[in-house]
Amino acid sequence: MKDQFYTYIQNLQNVITQKIEEIDGKAIFKEDLWERPEGGGGKSRIMENGAVIEKGGVNISAVHGPLPESMQAYFKVREVDFYACGLSLVLHPKNPMAPTVHANWRYFEMYDQHSILINQWFGGGLDLTPYYLFEEDAIHFHQVCKKACDLHPPHSYETYKNQCDQYFYNSHREEARGIGGLFFDYLKADEKGRIDHHYQFIKAVADSFLKAYTPLLIKRKDLPYTTNQREWQEIRRGRYVEFNLIHDKGTLFGLKTKGRIESILMSLPPRVQWHYNYEPPKGSEEKKLLEVLKTPKKWA
């Protein structure tokens, strides 16, 4: 399964980067191959200062070796070896009317001291972070997510949507990072050792990513915007940074397994602002967004 899934995400990386380069029309992804001294490595593709994408990354990795002590406690295991591979992407558009998007699809294996497979699972999802709320965009994104789930029962859109709302939540701010999508983890083999049904599901979700996101990017990338709207985008990007550095488990796992720092932190936007105790005016579009982020909505 690990070879099958890694081959799949290698191809998916090519498909996604090619489409984003086509939409941007100016910048291209620069490829950076790296190795992890403890075992494995990856292929990072980064785009910066494009006509549409201010900063973005579509990265794949496959790492393996002894599970560090810090993660043994997290997984409640003793000395084991692990293998983890996945694709992680973040796209930060320049135009504040266009939403940021994040997605991740991953596979994990764990082995005992005799190299016997003792656990395996899939995880991942995708989520949308708008700076200005266009409800039709939120509906489209969630409908695509729901369709992928509906085609692969018993995978439940409602369950994974709720998990996404709960996970991408800045508890210290009491607000969501964005308007959600799907989040799932620990999709393990059944009692007969079968895991292919999870593989087919995660492929359906990942294959639907471009359909979920690129129509929104194309629709919003050329809309006019003001300096104040750009400033609001950078303030909200600050919340994005806060989540990734305080709460995100993927960032934590990468850092504790001695992952490549530049690839782990590629998700951070290039221009961010923090204003002291900033509150948008009542009745404004900015305030409307915050109200939705306080209470998750049912979009599909």
- Which positions are annotated as active-site residues? 102
Beta-ladder partners of 22: none
* Beta-bridge mates of residue 35: 41
- Of 19, 9, 1, 8, nearest to 217 by C-alpha is 19
Q: Which residues have a Cβ under 8 Å from the Cβ of 294 and sit 6 or more positions away?
A: 174, 175, 176
Could you tell me which residues are beta bridge partners of residue 128? Answer: 101, 180
Give the Cα separation of 89 and 104 in Å (integer): 6
Question: What CA–CA distance (Å, rounded) separates 195 from 193?
Answer: 7
Phi, psi of 43 (to 5 degrees): -135, 105
- Calculate the alpha carbon distances from 87 to 22, 123, 280 in Å: 20, 11, 36
